[in-house]
């Protein structure tokens, strides 16, 4: 019922062009997380009017939702996307004492209840993938499909065997980090000298960050985050509340029946060359690993068409 009410309101917005006004494509609101005056309110944005509702989880911990909006903007006419900023992130300020791994999981369940969705299609990027996996392990009955984009590791600590697999591609990754393209991009915009102004310093930092996060570093101009927009304290506050004995969400996922799709660039720093993640996910029934060639952690920056195709097919994957 709650979802129907929201969609009716959204439809009313879309019909407001009778006076020649521009048709809004999004609405936003705040999710209450408790009745206390100090309970954080989480920023929520909705985009698109498709039949299928997709809940999008950004990375971080402490990131923002903006990059994911850009990633799926072309699919807005086909799906109804829900984005929200996790507690402590830019648009969802929160006291440090209220930030924890468990709170992030329960916030997603709170959002589901607010939307009135019995089973969700959840898409998580990076640390958002870890959040999605943790939620799906706790509430498997609430998942329709689980789609992970360049996900963080769903188990910690890694086994000696896993570390050995990752170490094989380490030399190639270290070479990737110092590839000539990065220096060339800095020189192209005169960002190699000292005494850079604030604008130049911002651009330099984005190029260096994208040297790690994307395959084609010239795509740095698509990046609008970083700096004060990323709340680094949320990362520390969340990771310190991980289960003290570690976690392995693959154990629970192997017992579920919903489709799982993993979409990852072959130059992602989390698994450079995609040597470990396919091994993990191929052991899960109804799971499929999709590797995007010549793409990094922000894979839609590098290969937007291949990314959109893989995501659309994953959303449309039939349930068992």
Same domain as 218, residue 129: no
Q: Please give the Cα distance from 229 to 65 (Å, whole number).
A: 11
pLDDT in tens, 41-95: 999 999 998 899 999 999 999 999 999 999 999 999 999 999 999 999 999 999 9
- Report residue 140 as tokens: 């498997």
Give the span between the Cα atoms of 309 and 200, in whole angstroms.
Answer: 35
The per-residue pLDDT for range 284-307, each reduced to its tens digit, is 999 999 999 999 999 999 999 999
The residue from 228, 249, 275 where one domain ends is 228
Portion of the chain with pLDDT greater than 70, in percent: 92
* pLDDT tens column, 224-266: 888 899 999 999 999 999 999 999 999 999 999 999 999 999 9
**pLDDT beyond 70 at 124:** yes
Number of domains into which the chain is organized? 2
23-27, 49-53, 141-145, 240-244: the lowest-pLDDT one: 23-27
83 and 144 inside one domain: yes
d(CA 233, CA 96): 8
Quick one: average pLDDT of 271-296? 97
Q: How many CB atoms lie within 10 A of CB 277?
A: 21
CATH code at 131?
3.40.50.1820
What letter would DSSP give residue 62?
T
144 and 172 belong to one structural domain: no
pLDDT at residue 320, rounded to an integer: 78
pLDDT score recorded for residue 244: 97
Of the pLDDT bands very low, low, confident and very high (cuts 50, 70, 90), residue 1 is low
| Residue among 74, 66, 102, 146 at smallest CA distance from 239 | 102
Q: What pLDDT, on the 0 to 100 scale, is given for residue 200?
A: 97
pLDDT exceeds cutoff 90 at 8: no
How far apart are alpha carbons 235 and 99 in whole angstroms? 10
C-alpha–C-alpha distance, residues 65 and 87, integer Å = 12
Residues 6+ apart with CB under 8 A from 17: 23
pLDDT in tens, 159-203: 999 999 999 999 999 999 999 999 999 999 999 999 999 999 999
Give every CB contact of residue 143 below 8 A, 6+ residues apart in sequence: 119, 120, 122, 135, 136, 256, 258
Residues 137, 27, single domain; the answer is yes
In a domain, 320, yes or no: no
pLDDT at 22: 41
Q: What is residue 125's predicted lDDT score, i.e. its pLDDT?
A: 99
CB 274 within 8 A of CB 291: yes
- Domain holding 194, by residue range, is 167-228
- In this structure, are 91 and 236 located in the same domain? yes
Would residue 74 count as lying in a domain?
yes
Domain assignment present for 129: yes
Alpha helices, H only, the chain:
2-14, 66-72, 101-115, 127-138, 160-168, 170-177, 180-188, 198-213, 232-239, 250-253, 277-281, 299-302, 304-315
Q: Is the pLDDT of residue 6 over 70?
A: no
For 315, how many CA atoms within 13 A lie in the half-sphere containing its CB? 23
The residue with tokens 């521009």 is 22
CB atoms closer than 10 angstroms to residue 156: 15
Q: Is residue 214 within 8 Å of residue 302, measured between CB atoms?
A: yes
Tokens of 73: 């903007």
Q: What integer best gives the mean pLDDT of the chain? A: 93
Same domain, 177 and 293: no
């Amino acid at each position: 019922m709650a979802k129907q009410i929201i969609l009716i309101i959204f439809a009313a917005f879309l019909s407001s062009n009778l006076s020649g006004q521009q048709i809004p494509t999004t609405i936003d609101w705040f999710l209450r997380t408790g009745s206390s005056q100090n309970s954080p309110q989480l920023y929520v944005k909705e985009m698109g009017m498709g039949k299928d509702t997709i809940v999008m989880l950004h990375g971080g911990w402490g990131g923002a939702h903006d990059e994911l909006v850009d990633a799926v903007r072309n699919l807005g006419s086909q799906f109804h996307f829900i984005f929200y900023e996790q507690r402590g992130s830019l648009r969802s300020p929160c006291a440090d004492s209220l930030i924890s791994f468990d709170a992030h999981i329960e916030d997603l369940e709170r959002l589901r209840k607010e939307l009135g969705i019995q089973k969700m299609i959840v898409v998580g990027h990076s640390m958002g993938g870890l959040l999605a996996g943790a939620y799906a392990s706790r509430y498997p009955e609430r998942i329709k499909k689980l789609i992970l984009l360049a996900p963080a590791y769903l188990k910690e600590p890694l086994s000696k065997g896993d570390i050995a697999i990752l170490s094989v591609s380490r030399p190639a990754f270290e070479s990737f980090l110092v590839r000539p393209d990065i220096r060339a991009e800095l020189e192209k915009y005169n960002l190699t000298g000292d005494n850079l102004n604030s604008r130049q310093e911002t651009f330099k930092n984005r190029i260096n960050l994208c040297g790690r996060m994307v395959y084609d570093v010239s795509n740095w101009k698509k990046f609008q985050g970083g700096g004060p927009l990323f709340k680094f304290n949320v990362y520390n506050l969340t990771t310190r509340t991980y289960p003290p004995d570690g976690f392995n969400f693959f154990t629970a996922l192997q017992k579920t029946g919903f489709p799982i799709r993993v979409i990852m660039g072959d130059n992602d720093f989390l698994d450079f060359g995609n040597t470990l993640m396919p091994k993990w996910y191929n052991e899960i029934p109804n799971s499929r690993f999709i590797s995007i060639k010549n793409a990094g952690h922000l894979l839609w920056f590098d290969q937007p068409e291949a990314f959109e195709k893989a995501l659309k097919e994953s959303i449309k994957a039939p349930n068992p």
